[in-house]
Structure 1
Amino acid sequence: MKNWYHSWRAAIRIARRDAWRFKGRSFLVLAMLALPIVGVSAADLTQRSSELSPAQQLDRDLGKADAVINDPGLGGVALMQNPKGDNYQPVKEYGDSEPWPEGKTDITAALPAGAKSLVDTVGMAKLKTAHGLRNTSVRELKAADPMAEGIMVLDRGRFPEKPGEVAATNAFLESSGLYVGSKLTARGLDTTYRIVGAYELPDDLKEAQVNALPGALLAPLDKVLAAAELPGTDASDSYLATVPGGAGFTWNMVKETNTKGVTVTSRAVTLNPPPDSDVALYQKDGWSSHGDNSSGNATELAILSTVVGLVMLEICLLAGPAFAVGARRSRRQLGLVGANGGDRHHIRAIVLSGGLVIGVVAAVVGTALGIGLTFALRPVLEGVLGQRFGSFDVRPLELLGIALLAVVTGLLAAIVPAVTASRQTVVASLTGRRGIRKANRVLPIVGLTAVVLGAGIALYGSAVSDKPIIVGGGSALAELGVVALTPTLVGLFGRIGRWLPLSPRLALRDAVRNRGRTAPAVAAVLAAVAGTVAVATYSASSDAQSEARYEPRLPHGAVAILSPESAVDVPSMRDDTQKLLPTDVRADVDRVVVGKKSCSAYGGGDDCGRYEIVRPKAYECPLWLYDASGEDPAEKYSKAERRELAKDWRCLQNDYGIGSEGGEILIGDDRLLKVLKIDDPGASEALANGRAVSFVKQNIVPDGADKGTGKGGATTVATTAANSVAAPEDGANGTIGVRLISAEDVDEADAAGMKGEEPPGTVKSIPAHQVADGQNAYGVTMIVPPKAAEKAGFTTVPLGSFFSTERQPSDAQEQRLNGELAKTGSDSTLTIEKGFTPENSGTLLALAVFAGLVTIGAAGIATGLAQADAEPDLKTLAAVGAPTRVRKALSGFQCGVVAAMGVVLGSASGILPAIGLRFTERRAEEQMYAQALDEGWGAWQDVTAPFVPVVIPWATLGMLLVVVPLGAALLAALVTRSRGALARRAVI
């Protein structure tokens, strides 16, 4: 035991002395080991500090109150809830045919006797800002009351004390261009408020919100909007409550309050929940107190373990060559240890002690830096997370475990160099001869086997299994196989050296001859690039899929300004849009109203009716035709028939877009066709001749069809079977029936429609032209020229305008227009089609930069080690008369060779998992699509065939394959001195 202790003590002293003597190499390894510890320890501190305890979360939700009482909108029926109050249901069970209760409840009547309460009202309002108009959350709460302390944190100024005062969050002030002291008004409200303070919501620092006293803003705004027939603020009330006695809002009090139709979130119950047997909700079928998160936790643990393992592998691959070079530089010293009676395990102990010493220092330095940086950057981290920390939560055991990673990684990185150094003979160590090193014949076989097996597993996972983890596991195994093959692959790269000039040929030869340091660096670059390419390929493919699914509301750059609620301000809105935006063609459109001209396009109102397009029964989708029995029509057909019907022309949905905002009929002319880019000369001719233009074949009955007259004058089409109706031909002329239903007939029409009967109303027939398939009308169902509308007896009012633009409107122009539109007081809809915006474009750039930095760093490390290891060769070059620039060129090409090999192998390895995951997703979506067709959902939900492409991000690959190796080579050449220190000839 004494000998073991003394031998290791001596080994550690030797290792500590060597680390101090060779500060550059020691700092390099120290940085590699410490940087991950800094990141992981900082991430641990950030995660733990941002996790709120139940008591801290209650302080932010309840302030100093004992409970918050909410109205679930079930009309005051008795409820039962879980202890947290986030799950509830009525005590009475309602059958399928029995309507679910709904309606508001008087919360004040449900408060316990003697309780003090504070109303908390939340709604939305359009507030005027320095830039225009902003839809903003408004919270009416007396924030200065001690009961509300902690819900809002005052930053500067004060909370409102008078009805004419408001406070605002910093996020709102920043986005609105206002400040403490500014005046604030709401659209439709003449009252002006003064901003007297700025605050923040600790749980959501990015929330734009305005605080006012109860009843100061939302209530008067609701009255004004209701009088103007505009949408209200949709406010909801809850009450903060404090009960006497000091015991808080107990579970018995919660159950008693539930009988009055409200839910309660109680501080006392949340912190000390009752047993499950005392919770009536948990006794119901299908309810339980705890969800099973074991699978989710297991998945998170597996991901965390994989990430930690890959980080340690990366560090070992980079740090291992440094220890190997250090062992070779100290080979004479190690030889002296052997000459003086040292055994192989003493040699191994000395080299391992180098990893232990630097690992311990890296653990201490990394942990200290992680704690210090997290503390210093706490405001920045809170801003990124969007919430304040609960406390600075330092957990010593977790940080100790993270620190041990550096020690373990240092030891692991030194294992192979230690074994290699211990196998050298004393004579070879003392003379400095490296001897003949044989290539490992087993490692390539193992690597090739792993590649084949991993690729097979990934292929199986993508083609047969539905579990992405199989694809990921197989891909990881294949990548490890490529890592194992790296020394052999480096040797294969060396064969191209015969065609290269002197400097790159020397660099490639040096890389091949010294595979012990080249292969790990190449493998490290390979691992980083493979992960980047995999994520980049997956992200690019997802963006391509999202772009294919993106449904524009208008042609790119087009503008629509519509006012479906009120027609009074439409002329001024049209002029403002044309004045402030770079518009080209302007197409004014009107809408049809049944009843008063003030009726909304969305219906409603005592004197307002509606209209509907009359479709022949044979043109209706059979999957939609309900009868008086109420049975699902899809049940009448087999799976094969449902599949066919889902693709039938009668079951096709209309295009998505803004054109349906004003109803199914738009009154306009051929200028609307130009804005919508409808290329159909027959359509323009039809509008000029007083014919309507139809974009939906189910609506038009072609001239010459087998017609009959149904009830109310509705045109019908004779048919003998559900699937025997031919679609109207493209460009066909025919008629469209429009039923006008008065306000008195609305209820009767609804009842008739539910029974499958003919609704009451007056049917008008309009001559129409069917537009050819393939034209995207952006939601427009039918365009009726003004003359045809007048002839049919339609009552019309202005709806808005569509514009084509000379160029894409800027954000500033859009904000100025919003400001002008806000002055009108109408609830208008402004739409500017900006096209699809990729979500992952920034991700791809960040990944490319990350991979580039790792590649340059790994290649630079390998180059530095190569220069330290090959100093005799460089001196020999200088001695034989090589130009001074050769040293720079050789250094640059050494770095470029490592980077190029790693990038090429990593790019090839990274594409496999991305393709496998995309194929897995494609199979899953195809199964969902088939199920939708089998069950008849396709016609209801407009289910389309899945499109799951695999897109290679050539820009990212190009940056990695070309720019990164060249950048690494140039950087290495620039930082390398052209002249080296002269030395005496080595004595051999």
Structure 2
Amino acid sequence: MKSWYHSWVAALRIARRDAWRAKGRSALVLAMIALPIAGVSAADLTARSAELSAEQQAQRKLGAADAQVENAGLGGPILQHPKGVGWAPAADDKDLRLPPSRGNTRDATAGALKAVLPADAELVQESKAHIRVRTPYGLLEVQARELDTAQPMVRGLFTLDRGQLPERHGELIATEAFLEESGLHVGSSVTPRGSTTPYTIVGAYEKPDELRTSELLAPPGTLLAPLDQALQAAGMRGVAVEDSWFVTVGGREGFTWNMVQQANAKGLVVVSKAVLLNPPPNSEVPLFRKQGGSGSEVFPSRATELAALVTVVGLAMLEICLLAGPAFAVGARRSRRQLGLVGANGGDRRHIRAIVLSGGIVIGAAAAVVGIALGLTLTLALQPVLEQQLGTRFGDFDVRPLELLGIAALAVLTGLLAAVAPAVTASRQTVLASLTGRRGVRRAGRVLPVLGLVAIGLGGAIALFGSVSELGVVVVAGGSALAELGIVALTPVLVGLFGRAGRWLPLAPRLALRDAVRNRGRTAPAVAAVLAAVAGTVAVATYDQSREAEERHRYVSQLPDGTGKLVLNEEGGWREVPAVREALSRDLPVAVRADLERIVVGKPDCNQYSIEAGCGLVEVLVPKDRQCPLSGPQAQEIGRDQARALAKDWRCAESSRYVEYSTVVADETLLKALAVTDPGTVQALKAGQAVSFDPRPVKDGKVTLRLVTDSEKAREAEERGEDPPGQDKVFAVHQAPAGAEAYGFRLVLPPAATKAAGLTTVAYGSYFTLDGKASSEQRQRLNGELDWMGVDAALYVEEGFQGGEGMFLLVLSVFAGLVTVGAAGIATGLAQADAEADLKTLSAVGAAPRLRRTLSGFQCGVVAAMGVVLGSAAGLLPGIGLRLAERREQARMYREASFFGFRDTATPYVPVVVPWETLAVLIVAVPLGAALLAALVTRSGGAVARRAAG
């Protein structure tokens, strides 16, 4: 035991001195290990610091209050989750009615609270609503909040950064996110849309859990109630306010679970601090008993997260070992004389292995210290940035020594694993070979290539099986990873095959290729590292471009390319349409503008979603024999095979394009804007005849419109499969040919026909085509005018399918390029260090000075080219396998959807696209760039080598 201990102490001392002598090589390996360790430690610190304790969560949610209470709005008892994140009716009663108004709900909640709370309880009301306010840029939707900030129980809900709290009417404070987004500042005035009263921003605050939330906070009764009155006075929809109450009950126990259940019996939902800190057992939660579950919240499986984490860490360790292993191998060869002296003085193979392994331990330990220190420093320095990215403030800067110690152990283990193969190789050399510097004749092993072939075959079979079986993408990913590891195992043999191409190359590339083949111990790991990085990029590129081709196929244009629409859907917005049309023609390069009107039943301000009294609907009636059998109550009696057949019936065809109104009033200019060029259709509309683009409502050359005065009765009739009651208007109609596309419109009525039928119409908006393309400045100018008008106008211009920006793929490509250049550069640097004597000999016998630079460039390019070629081939397998698995899954979903008669479910189209452009860039540009970079940073001259000491 004493001998073992002293031998390892000596080995560590020798390794430390050797690492200090070879500072460049040691720094290279240390950086490779320390950088991932810094990232892992920073991620651990960030995750732990962002993870709030139960006490911190309760404080940010409730402040100093004991509970927060709100009305569920069911008008009856409920059962709730202990955390207040979900609830359900206590009884299966489908006839529960919502409270008739906000005021009654507020009064009912206050009364229910008084019945539950003790007499000395205190209440603070909070009101929230979404409103729009005017800013220098236009209109901005924000969350408005009313709360008495002087009450002690709200302390902790927000943090006042600067300024003062609002105390009187006309004052409010704003979040930092709102100030940044709106361009306002403390001291500015802001006016809600629909109101003429300006409010002064007297302070800035932040919500620790919602840093990116735009919010305004005002004293109770000073913002939402006056705004609601102003909107209703202007004939506009009022403010939808949500009320809740913060409660303190006194006593040590707080708002107990029994009190929560009593509040649930009154229809109240409660978030209690006492229950958050000490939740009841699942057996005491009625909601869990009713649902038959354990109450576990829906989050990703911890096992899945752990598996993903282990996979990522394992791949990172593999990359580091592949890149650091050759450095230890070269170090062992540079120290072979020293190792030989150890053997000559009685040391055996285990002592040689201990010295080389100690080098990995020393570098790993140093990398652990540097990496963790760097991770701590970065996390502390970037804490404000990290909090903004996460959208929440850290609870505490949580440093967990055991976890950091585990990360440090990971660094030491990585260094140790990287030194295993060089240690075994160095221990097998004889003392004579080590002292004389001879490498001897080494025979390539046969076990590793055989295992590689087996892994490739087995991994490919597993991936293929996963793509056609129910096991899915996990099996495909596992099989692809196994096949990739098999290619890594075959890398030394494949490098040897590449060497056979050297006979046809000029001198410098031939020397570089032969040197790479001769020294496979440092070439193969670098090639394998490049292979792994490139394979991942190619796999993602294959999957990404295949998905983009699928999305392009599924994309449904809402309008012809270059055509736009500007419509007003808000109640009462028809009054602003003329001014909006003028702004459109003034600010955009409009070539054709088609003005649309819509039919109204009842009040002019009603639209098809209005449910107020006096608002009706316009329905296009479809004769019974032309209705789709899959619509209505009869669809429940249709069998599976019949549903599949009916899904292809012309009566069940539905347009996937969306428009606000399927029936509009317009002249033939609309057809021009929609690129409808059929002469008969254009002439019919021009002559005052209605045009139908849907064949189902047309019978005997006529179409029937039903004016429904009671929208609620219309919906009830639709649920029963009946036509809604109302007054009918019959129009002669021209049926557009099947090839004519109206982009969602079913019926276009000419103005003369609607006037003759006595229908009431109001302005709706305009469709238009552009002369060229609208610039960003023109769109901003139009949006600015619309905001100044205060209208809710929806502007849309069809620009065709817009694929992904490819930023993720670009980042992956850059990462693969950096890893490729780095691995090739490491291999090149090690090759130069390993073959320094040969290079100096070349200079001594008359080789040109540029030979060193040329040889270095080709050495780097050769390693990069071999890794890129092998990685490209390896990366296609998982990409194709994942797409095949998706194809099978989507086919299954389509079969199930067709059984239930979903007519909008398209036939699966899951293409496999090979990313030729990405492959071309990787195969050509990356090796060429690596070679040029290596040639530029290499010195062309070198001193003649001195005679080696005997």
TM-score, L = length of structure 1 = 0.92
Give RMSD over aligned pairs.
2.1
Q: Aligned runs of 1:420-439 on 2, under 5 Å?
A: 420-439=425-444
Report the counterpart of residue 377 of structure 1 in structure 2.
382
Q: Cα offset for 1:645? A: 0.5
Comparing 827-836 with 450-459, greater Cα deviation is found at 827-836
CA contact (8 A) 2:531 2:871 kept: yes
Pair 1:768-2:768 in alignment: no
Q: Aligned runs of 1:690-709 on 2, under 5 Å?
A: 690-701=688-699, 703=700
Report the counterpart of residue 20 of structure 1 in structure 2.
20
Report the counterpart of residue 267 of structure 1 in structure 2.
273
Secondary structure in 1 aligned to 2:216?
Answer: strand
Q: Distance in 2 between matches of 1:200 and 1:894?
A: 57
Q: Distance in 1 between matches of 2:941 and 2:429?
A: 33
Q: Cα offset for 1:157? A: 1.6
**Candidates 139, 145, 150, aligned match of 2:156:** 150
Q: Aligned runs of 1:833-982 on 2, under 5 Å?
A: 833-839=798-804, 841-936=806-901, 938-939=902-903, 942-982=904-944
Q: Distance in 2 between matches of 1:528 and 1:831?
A: 42
Pair 1:818-2:818 in alignment: no
Q: Cα offset for 1:255? A: 1.9
Q: Distance in 2 between matches of 1:527 and 1:780?
A: 53
Q: Distance in 1 between matches of 2:333 and 2:936?
A: 27
**Candidates 475, 481, 486, aligned match of 1:481:** 486
Name the amino acid aligned to 1:40.
V
Report the counterpart of residue 167 of structure 2 in structure 1.
161
Q: Cα offset for 1:839? A: 4.2
CA contact (8 A) 1:141 1:212 kept: yes
Q: Distance in 1 between matches of 2:177 and 2:911?
A: 39
Name the amino acid aligned to 2:379.
T
CA contact (8 A) 1:94 1:100 kept: no
CA contact (8 A) 1:666 1:782 kept: yes
Report the counterpart of residue 607 of structure 1 in structure 2.
614
CA contact (8 A) 1:655 1:777 kept: no
**Candidates 572, 592, 596, aligned match of 2:579:** 572
CA contact (8 A) 2:632 2:720 kept: no
Report the counterpart of residue 602 of structure 2 in structure 1.
595
Report the counterpart of residue 630 of structure 2 in structure 1.
623
Q: Cα offset for 1:532? A: 1.9
Q: Aligned runs of 1:694-733 on 2, under 5 Å?
A: 694-701=692-699, 703=700
Q: Distance in 2 between matches of 1:527 and 1:742?
A: 68
Q: Distance in 2 between matches of 1:454 and 1:131?
A: 57
Report the counterpart of residue 457 of structure 1 in structure 2.
462
Q: Cα offset for 1:986? A: 4.4
The one-character-per-residue Cα deviations of 1:312-333 (angstroms, maximum 9, x if unpaired) are 1111111110010001111111
Distance 1:20 1:823, change over 3 A: closer
The one-character-per-residue Cα deviations of 1:368-413 (angstroms, maximum 9, x if unpaired) are 1111111111111112222111110101101100111111111111
Comparing 874-883 with 835-844, greater Cα deviation is found at 835-844
Q: Cα offset for 1:691? A: 2.0
Q: Distance in 1 between matches of 2:323 and 2:704?
A: 77
Q: Distance in 1 between matches of 2:714 and 2:588?
A: 44
Report the counterpart of residue 77 of structure 2 in structure 1.
78
Name the amino acid aligned to 1:582.
P
Secondary structure in 2 aligned to 1:203?
Answer: coil
Pair 1:125-2:131 in alignment: yes
Report the counterpart of residue 803 of structure 1 in structure 2.
768
Secondary structure in 1 aligned to 2:944?
Answer: coil
Distance 1:905 1:142, change over 3 A: farther
Q: Aligned runs of 1:397-796 on 2, under 5 Å?
A: 397-564=402-569, 565-566=571-572, 567-626=574-633, 633-657=634-658, 660-661=659-660, 663-701=661-699, 703=700, 734-743=701-710, 752-796=717-761
Distance 1:226 1:958, change over 3 A: farther
Distance 1:159 1:539, change over 3 A: farther
CA contact (8 A) 1:66 1:242 kept: yes
The one-character-per-residue Cα deviations of 1:460-511 (angstroms, maximum 9, x if unpaired) are 0001233321111100100000000101111111122222222111111111
Name the amino acid aligned to 1:699.
P
Distance 1:173 1:918, change over 3 A: same
Report the counterpart of residue 87 of structure 1 in structure 2.
86
Comparing 479-488 with 459-468, greater Cα deviation is found at 459-468
Secondary structure in 1 aligned to 2:246?
Answer: strand
Q: Cα offset for 1:810? A: 4.2
CA contact (8 A) 1:845 1:956 kept: no
Secondary structure in 2 aligned to 1:797?
Answer: strand
Secondary structure in 2 aligned to 1:56?
Answer: helix
Distance 1:552 1:132, change over 3 A: farther
Distance 1:760 1:296, change over 3 A: closer
Report the counterpart of residue 211 of structure 1 in structure 2.
217
The one-character-per-residue Cα deviations of 1:573-624 (angstroms, maximum 9, x if unpaired) are 1111221223221110111112343433434443333221111111100111
CA contact (8 A) 1:132 1:816 kept: no
Q: Distance in 2 between matches of 1:835 and 1:246?
A: 64
Distance 1:748 1:490, change over 3 A: closer
Name the amino acid aligned to 2:542.
T
Name the amino acid aligned to 1:769.
H
Report the counterpart of residue 109 of structure 2 in structure 1.
107
Q: Distance in 2 between matches of 1:302 and 1:754?
A: 48
CA contact (8 A) 1:137 1:208 kept: yes
CA contact (8 A) 1:230 1:827 kept: no
Name the amino acid aligned to 1:153.
T
Q: Cα offset for 1:535? A: 2.1
Comparing 158-167 with 278-287, greater Cα deviation is found at 278-287
Name the amino acid aligned to 1:59.
Q
Q: Distance in 2 between matches of 1:983 and 1:747?
A: 98
CA contact (8 A) 1:584 1:805 kept: yes
Q: Distance in 2 between matches of 1:495 and 1:677?
A: 62
Pair 1:296-2:309 in alignment: no
CA contact (8 A) 1:654 1:696 kept: no
Distance 1:681 1:887, change over 3 A: farther
Report the counterpart of residue 61 of structure 2 in structure 1.
61
Secondary structure in 2 aligned to 1:697?
Answer: coil
Structure 1, gaps ≥5 residues long: 627-632, 704-733
Q: Distance in 2 between matches of 1:391 and 1:463?
A: 49
CA contact (8 A) 2:79 2:286 kept: yes
The one-character-per-residue Cα deviations of 1:423-455 (angstroms, maximum 9, x if unpaired) are 111111111111111112221111011001100
Distance 1:406 1:599, change over 3 A: closer
The one-character-per-residue Cα deviations of 1:79-110 (angstroms, maximum 9, x if unpaired) are 23232122322333326xx4566664532223
Secondary structure in 1 aligned to 2:419?
Answer: helix
Q: Distance in 2 between matches of 1:46 and 1:839?
A: 30
Secondary structure in 2 aligned to 1:623?
Answer: coil
Name the amino acid aligned to 1:696.
D
Distance 1:573 1:921, change over 3 A: same
Name the amino acid aligned to 2:737.
A
Q: Cα offset for 1:901? A: 1.0
Q: Cα offset for 1:195? A: 1.4
Name the amino acid aligned to 2:811.
A
Percent of aligned positions with the same letter in both sequences? 59
Q: Cα offset for 1:458? A: 0.2
The one-character-per-residue Cα deviations of 1:34-74 (angstroms, maximum 9, x if unpaired) are 11111100110011111111111111111111111122111
Distance 1:249 1:557, change over 3 A: farther
